[in-house]
Amino acid sequence: MSTADLLAKFHKIAADPAAQKARYLAEGRKIVLTAPVYTPEEIIHAMGLVPMGAWGADIPLNESKKYFPAFICSIMQSILELGITGAYEGVSAIVIPSLCDSLKCLGENWKYAVPSVPFIPMTYPQNRKPDFGRAYTKAGYERVIADLEKVSGVQFEQEKLAESIRVYNAHNAVMREFAAVSAKHPIGAGERADVFKSAFFVTKEEHTALVRELIDALRGEEPKAAKKRIMLTGILADAPKLLAIIERNGLQIACDDVAACSRQYRTDVPEDMEPLEGLAAKFAAMDNCSVLYDADKKRVDKIVQDAKAAGAGGVIVVLTKFCDPEEFDCPLIKRACEAAELACIVVEADRQMENYEQAATMIEAFAELV
């Protein structure tokens, strides 16, 4: 397939998760939703179930307002809205991790608001690195396994988890490679987002094969004229209107620290450990993320280092409204960028935003500084 055909395919998958859900159900597969962030997909995959990302959607919020106050992030609200309005009918369960206060509320509300889709909690420790933290994480995974066995009737096997870990590590590697190649063989911000977003809606085997094909196609093309290079950071940055403004201003995404994009692919599971221990070791090894306990705020330094290494002249922080973990980091990121002579702006976004005029003005001015 040509690069254009492949990008069209990624767009189709990213824009229509309902079609993928219908396809897997028609094939007789069972689907388990994985809410953000760091849901242990490998376990779900190892049990022959299809993990499918649930990061909400750009939809009006009505029913979810009966459960959430207005000042909670729209990712959570729109996941619940989709659940209440039946978008997830037919799936076997949803796994929701506990990594921020909003996520904790989502799980509790889900039980009452969407009784047709069982809620499976994944409770992570704050202190994930010491032995007791790893033991706690492993116990959380064991709880998820027991709940999955109950809802699916499938028996978990460690050997199958080892196979799934290899599948997921291979996918992590191909996504890291894509991020690097897409910066050298520039593709648009919207196209880049489609490649990342589509990973939530098809199996990792399918996605790895497609991304591999795209990387080979991009490598076969002449690099396009260099644009101004920037870095994106935040939880989510898939709003088409925002990405169109970035493209319109001639900005190329050189790298990202977005939770729904590169952040989730940085750390692999060690393959030489007992599989469940390895999965807990991966969580312990993860760093540089607003939802992971980080007393020294090393994430801030990493953003500056990555931006510099990728030749980015500036950083756009896409701040999901009412996301406390990201809001805490914002002033530190701005200060660190200033000290490193990187332009930096904070663009607030949520899933109900229609008018991006203010963002457009900020990004135009930012493009002059990059």
User: Does 199 participate in binding ligand SF4 (rule CB under 6 A)?
Assistant: no
Specify the stretch interacting with ligand SF4 by CB under 6 A; choose among 68-76, 86-94, 120-128, 336-344. Answer: 68-76
- The two three-digit tokens of residue 200, written as one number: 């939530």
The only residue of 235, 246, 251, 307 in contact with ligand SF4, by rule CB under 6 A:
235
Name the residue nearer to ligand SF4 (CB basis): 75 or 251: 75
* Residue 284 vs residues 63, 125, 168, 189, 281: alpha-carbon distances, Å: 37, 10, 17, 32, 5
- For residues 14 and 198, the answer to whether their CB atoms sit within 8 Å is yes
User: Does 347 participate in binding ligand SF4 (rule CB under 6 A)?
Assistant: no
CA dihedral 43, 170, 31, 103 (to 10 degrees): 70
Report how far residue 106's alpha carbon sits from residue 98's, in angstroms, rounded to the nearest whole number.
Answer: 9
- DSSP secondary structure of 217-245: HHHTSPPPPP-EEEEEEES----HHHHHH
Specify the stretch interacting with ligand SF4 by CB under 6 A; choose among 86-94, 99-107, 311-319, 359-367. Answer: 99-107
Specify the stretch interacting with ligand SF4 by CB under 6 A; choose among 5-13, 38-46, 136-144, 322-330. Answer: 322-330
User: Does 203 participate in binding ligand SF4 (rule CB under 6 A)?
Assistant: no
Min. distance of Cβ 276 from ligand SF4 in angstroms?
25
The only residue of 34, 64, 77, 102 in contact with ligand SF4, by rule CB under 6 A:
102
- The two three-digit tokens of residue 227, written as one number: 């644009």
Name the residue nearer to ligand SF4 (CB basis): 215 or 319: 319
Report how far residue 264's alpha carbon sits from residue 159's, in angstroms, rounded to the nearest whole number.
Answer: 24
Strand spans (E) along the chain:
31-34, 50-53, 93-97, 119-122, 228-234, 251-258, 314-320, 343-349
**What is the helix (H) or strand (E) element at residue 358, kind and residue range?**
helix 357-369
User: Does 87 participate in binding ligand SF4 (rule CB under 6 A)?
Assistant: no
Closest among 75, 78, 65 to 99, alpha carbons compared: 75
Min. distance of Cβ 84 from ligand SF4 in angstroms?
18
User: Does 323 participate in binding ligand SF4 (rule CB under 6 A)?
Assistant: yes
Min. distance of Cβ 323 from ligand SF4 in angstroms?
3
Name the residue nearer to ligand SF4 (CB basis): 104 or 334: 104
Q: Which of residues 109-168 bind ligand SF4 (CB under 6 A)?
A: none
User: Does 291 participate in binding ligand SF4 (rule CB under 6 A)?
Assistant: yes
User: Does 325 participate in binding ligand SF4 (rule CB under 6 A)?
Assistant: yes
- For residues 236 and 79, the answer to whether their CB atoms sit within 8 Å is no
Report how far residue 46's alpha carbon sits from residue 53's, in angstroms, rounded to the nearest whole number.
Answer: 16
The only residue of 76, 175, 251, 342 in contact with ligand SF4, by rule CB under 6 A:
76
- The two three-digit tokens of residue 238, written as one number: 């898939």
Specify the stretch interacting with ligand SF4 by CB under 6 A; choose among 41-49, 71-79, 300-308, 348-356. Answer: 71-79
Q: Which of residues 27-66 bind ligand SF4 (CB under 6 A)?
A: 36
The only residue of 6, 31, 103, 336 in contact with ligand SF4, by rule CB under 6 A:
103
- The two three-digit tokens of residue 70, written as one number: 């207005």
- The two three-digit tokens of residue 309, written as one number: 């290494």
| Number of Cβ atoms within 10 Å of the Cβ of 38 | 20
User: Does 95 participate in binding ligand SF4 (rule CB under 6 A)?
Assistant: no
Q: How many residues bind ligand SF4 (CB under 6 A)?
A: 13
The only residue of 304, 320, 356, 370 in contact with ligand SF4, by rule CB under 6 A:
320
Q: Which residues bind ligand SF4 (CB under 6 A)?
A: 36, 73, 75-76, 100, 102-103, 235, 291, 320, 323, 325-326
